[in-house]
Structure 1
Amino acid sequence: MLEKFKIHIAQNFPFFDGKKMLLATSGGLDSMVLLHLFQQLYFDIAIAHCNFQLRGIESFGDQNFVQNYALVNTIPIFVTQFDTKAFAADYKISTQVAARELRYNWFYELLETEKYDFILTAHHADDNLETFLINLSRGTGLEGFTGIPQQNDKVIRPILSFSRQEIENYAKENGIQWREDSSNASDKYLRNKIRHHLIPILKELNPNFISSFQKTQNYLQEAQVMVEDATIMIYQQVAKEQGDGTIHFDLKKLQQLPNFKSYLYQWLKEYGFSAWDDIYDLAEGQSGKQVFSAEFRLLKDRNFLILSPVNFVTNEKEFLLDKEQHEVNIPLKLSFCKVSDISAVSNSAIFVDEDKLQFPLLLRRWREGDYFQPFGMEGKSKKVSKFFKDEKLSLLEKENVWILCSNDQIVWIVGMRQDDRFRIENTTKNILKIQLG
């Protein structure tokens, strides 16, 4: 295995030369073999050991074992201890997830503080197979079948292509000692059930099952690359990223595609969505329907699906503006100044008769039932909702409209239309300019 490993490193990790590497070492078979292999290659290495304190005295036995090995072999070592159960309880996550978060956060901290280049872990081919079967049992997309990546940022798995049997044979041939984790014998965890009961049957049916599986996974990885390329190309045709941070998906173009649901899945999975049936139904649903993830929402608005952050819509609040105020910055940036004459009226600036205003002014969200008299339509009232419809505002745009009011009368649909009742007349003595932005 050593010669095979040397070739593997030379071909796949030539950038290791001259780098400093942290080896995640639990004291178990896999990590001790990884450590021994790297000792034979004379790289600049150090050991990183986490004591999760999950198995009582056994956990401290692992820690002492690894520390003694480092001492005898003069290898630098970093050790930390975690109260994993308390962390899991505090954040309401499983113990396994807690352990993973704790150790990788610590690993990256070591990279930064101790100036190491990579973290090496001892995941192997059987781990990859177990992960594949776990994902299969739970249901997954194509990416769930492509396996544990050989490299993920600064984390590298140099023995991912080697089987557990190869690793065990190497350990026995070289007299490598290791610690047995008693929890690995328990069928409490799904991974252990698969390891103890399912995989032995697969290997019995095909003694070369691991090798065959690796070939299949390589094909799946190639297929995933093709999917990602196609996803990018179609995204450029269907999606338009707006200046306000939203993304608009053209439903007419999208629904002309075969398997358009697959494209939606590829585009939206990174945003934390999981209610895929609801999302697919949204494409055929009525305007106004929406689906939420923890931080994003997808809104159906006529011929578009609009993706936006959940916090894109500000909570409805009311803001009182005193006569003495010359500028406000929340929720909008508005400025107020007296002028002697008027320049061109625009969507971003209006001129009103200050004496017609009743202070304090009120800045609020628009409401159903709001009426105003559009500038230039003297004496004629119009529902704000009808005005929005005529302006072809999307539902998302409507949600972000602010109204400036004097008493219970609308002065300005901010950034859109002034109310005629506050216009400048020949008798106006005090002209107030209200500027947006």
Structure 2
Amino acid sequence: MMASMAMVEQRVSRRAWPPLLHKVVKTVRAHGLFEPGHHLLVAVSGGPDSVALLTLLHHLVPRWRLQLTAVHFNYGLRGLESDEDQAFVMSLCEALQVPLRCVSLDARTRPQRVSLQAQARDVRYRAMARLAEDVGADRIVVGHTADDQAETIVLWMLRGAGITGLAGMPVQRDEKIIRPLYEVRRRDLLEFLDATGQTYRQDSSNAKPIYARNRIRHQLLPLLSQLAPAAIDALCRMGDLCREDDRYLEDQTASLCASLVQPDGVGGYFIDRLGLQVQPLALQRRLLRDVFRRMHPSRRPPSLATIEAVHRLLSSKRGGERHCPGDVHVQVTPNALLVLPAHALALPQESEGVVKRHLVQIPSVIEWAGTSQRIRVQEGTREAAHQLSVSPGWVMIVDADVLSYPLHIRPWRAGDRFVPSGMKGRSKKLQDYFMDLKIPVSQRRRIPILDSPQGIVGVLGFRQDERFQVSGRTRRCVVIRMDEVSVTEGVH
């Protein structure tokens, strides 16, 4: 009897829900946005969308056993109006008995070419992620509607975006951020608020025509709706279709990255150039975009202009290099595309342990600060050289009669080539040699190079140049000995 009474109470309670809440619950269940018992961190600006969102979720608290925490961000950009928004949200949350966190954020300081709105969004999402962790929230809930989705799609379409941009906003992002109002029209929210007598704030900046989104909202979309009354729904439907296609291509790109992209250990990446070039153009662009996005502090994707410039470099027979926005440097070799943070190319100053060019006297002992190693150079007969070759450390023996002088020990320079022993006379770019060994860019200029007027004699600690090897005709030798090598292959 008591069980049946409880069921009746639940049915009555559910019938008491506002009609709009049934639509929101349908979206939540269809997409698995959250579950009974979850703790939700709800972003509340004080505008109609976020106020309706908090009010609707509050209706769900008893039946779904939800725990709500609200967060309000005050950027201080509109002076007294910003403070009044915060006071309104505080009053609303007090009436609903929902705990509230008010957070002051600064969006004025931002990277070059990043808009105030984009910077505010970035700092807001980072702050929400930190706060969700602090309060133990299972999900972060934001109040984007179907109208917001349509505006976003049109905005990206006008910027010439591809499928990713035309997909708009996902209903769930990074498995944490959810949009329960994703399928709700803004007009339905306003009707709900009017019917319940719930007040809200209006952000004066939303009416300013200086922002492209506002012009789309107040001018373009109303015109489209006159031409096609279901324009908002059609744009949202297109977004859903594009998202499925985009998801498939992202999965393909992830597989491609796993086989063609390797980290270099200092924040950059090696990309198999030949493997990438045989892929469809769509996947080439996506892979490049993914690598650049990994290197951006806010995971922001690069512009199409950047991707196209890098792709032209990739397709060039000569290769080359390019500095890209975001302090990213791209180098193209015959076999690889290197995408590197610009700081990785900077040669540290002498005070940080990198040496200048050293003139080599025979015999001599050189302290190589680049790797904190001692290099001993001496001359002797072939028999004496053989005895020295069994000494501890790394040893290289060269034919003294083949050498020309003076000899120098110096760091690697762009464009260096040598003929690695065992390559049957074929030369190789030193940059490609280092890449094959997976030596991080940050380590390469620390490695000592023995140089002569004829070219590189050897990469000390690694490999000798074949042209200077000892032969059956060798009488005099120069022996170069080093302590244990401190820069190794495959350092990550």
Q: Do the aligned residues in 2 keep the contact of 1:288 with 1:395 (CA within 8 Å)?
A: no
Give the counterpart of 1:269 among 274, 286, 289.
289
Deviation at 1:292, TM superposition (A): 3.2
Q: Does 1:231 align with 2:270?
A: no
Deviation at 1:411, TM superposition (A): 7.0
Structure 1 pair 394–140 and aligned structure 2 pair: CA distance change class (3 A): farther
Partner of 2:151: 130
Deviation at 1:160, TM superposition (A): 1.2
- The one-letter code matched in structure 2 to 1:108 is A
Q: Do the aligned residues in 2 keep the contact of 1:25 with 1:35 (CA within 8 Å)?
A: yes
Give the counterpart of 2:396 among 320, 340, 350.
350
Whole-angstrom CA distance in 2 between matches of 1:431 and 1:61? 76
Partner of 2:95: 72
Q: Does 1:49 align with 2:76?
A: no
Q: Does 1:36 align with 2:68?
A: no
Partner of 1:392: 428
Q: Do the aligned residues in 2 keep the contact of 1:349 with 1:434 (CA within 8 Å)?
A: no
Partner of 1:302: 334
Whole-angstrom CA distance in 2 between matches of 1:412 and 1:138? 52
Whole-angstrom CA distance in 1 between matches of 2:256 and 2:283? 8
Whole-angstrom CA distance in 2 between matches of 1:232 and 1:367? 32
Whole-angstrom CA distance in 2 between matches of 1:221 and 1:427? 71
Whole-angstrom CA distance in 2 between matches of 1:126 and 1:254? 39
Whole-angstrom CA distance in 2 between matches of 1:395 and 1:96? 42
1:2-401 to structure 2, matched below 5 A, reads: 2-13=21-32, 15-42=34-61, 43-85=66-108, 87-88=109-110, 93-153=114-174, 154-232=176-254, 239=260, 241=262, 246-251=269-274, 254-257=276-279, 260-270=280-290, 271-272=292-293, 273-274=302-303, 275-293=306-324, 294-302=326-334, 304-315=336-347, 319=355, 331-332=370-371, 334=373, 341-343=387-389, 349-350=395-396, 362-366=409-413, 385=417, 387=419, 390-393=426-429, 395-397=431-433, 400=444
TM-score (norm 2): 0.70
The DSSP-based 3-state class of the residue aligned with 2:235 is: helix
TM-score (norm 1): 0.78
- The one-letter code matched in structure 1 to 2:427 is E
Q: Does 1:417 align with 2:464?
A: yes
Per-residue CA deviation, residues 330-367 of structure 1 (Å, 9 max, x unaligned), is 633646689994456999543699xxxxxxx8542358
Per-residue CA deviation, residues 135-165 of structure 1 (Å, 9 max, x unaligned), is 1111212101111122223222111111112
Deviation at 1:98, TM superposition (A): 3.1
Whole-angstrom CA distance in 2 between matches of 1:9 and 1:61? 32
The DSSP-based 3-state class of the residue aligned with 1:319 is: coil
**RMSD of Structure 2 on Structure 1 (CA):** 4.2
Whole-angstrom CA distance in 1 between matches of 2:48 and 2:238? 27
- The one-letter code matched in structure 2 to 1:110 is L
Q: Percent identity?
A: 24
Structure 1 pair 94–281 and aligned structure 2 pair: CA distance change class (3 A): closer
The DSSP-based 3-state class of the residue aligned with 1:282 is: helix
Q: Do the aligned residues in 2 keep the contact of 1:349 with 1:435 (CA within 8 Å)?
A: no
Whole-angstrom CA distance in 1 between matches of 2:219 and 2:338? 47
Whole-angstrom CA distance in 1 between matches of 2:33 and 2:431? 54
Q: Do the aligned residues in 1 keep the contact of 2:75 with 2:104 (CA within 8 Å)?
A: yes
Deviation at 1:133, TM superposition (A): 1.0
- The one-letter code matched in structure 1 to 2:485 is L
Whole-angstrom CA distance in 2 between matches of 1:282 and 1:75? 55
Structure 1 pair 349–242 and aligned structure 2 pair: CA distance change class (3 A): farther
Partner of 1:357: none
The DSSP-based 3-state class of the residue aligned with 1:33 is: helix
Q: Do the aligned residues in 1 keep the contact of 2:171 with 2:178 (CA within 8 Å)?
A: yes
Per-residue CA deviation, residues 187-227 of structure 1 (Å, 9 max, x unaligned), is 11110000001111122222222222222222111111222
Q: Do the aligned residues in 2 keep the contact of 1:261 with 1:280 (CA within 8 Å)?
A: no
- The one-letter code matched in structure 1 to 2:135 is E
Deviation at 1:46, TM superposition (A): 1.5
Q: Do the aligned residues in 2 keep the contact of 1:337 with 1:434 (CA within 8 Å)?
A: no
Per-residue CA deviation, residues 254-299 of structure 1 (Å, 9 max, x unaligned), is 5555xx3322210011215542332232244242412333354333
Runs of at least 5 residues in structure 1 that lack an aligned partner in the other structure? 354-360, 369-383
Deviation at 1:405, TM superposition (A): 5.1
Q: Which moved more, 1:188-197 or 1:169-178?
A: 169-178
The DSSP-based 3-state class of the residue aligned with 1:292 is: strand
Structure 1 pair 284–139 and aligned structure 2 pair: CA distance change class (3 A): same
Deviation at 1:233, TM superposition (A): 5.0
Q: Do the aligned residues in 1 keep the contact of 2:271 with 2:338 (CA within 8 Å)?
A: yes
Whole-angstrom CA distance in 2 between matches of 1:267 and 1:367? 26
Deviation at 1:24, TM superposition (A): 0.7
- The one-letter code matched in structure 2 to 1:393 is K
Whole-angstrom CA distance in 2 between matches of 1:408 and 1:254? 38
Q: Do the aligned residues in 1 keep the contact of 2:256 with 2:287 (CA within 8 Å)?
A: no
- The one-letter code matched in structure 1 to 2:311 is Y
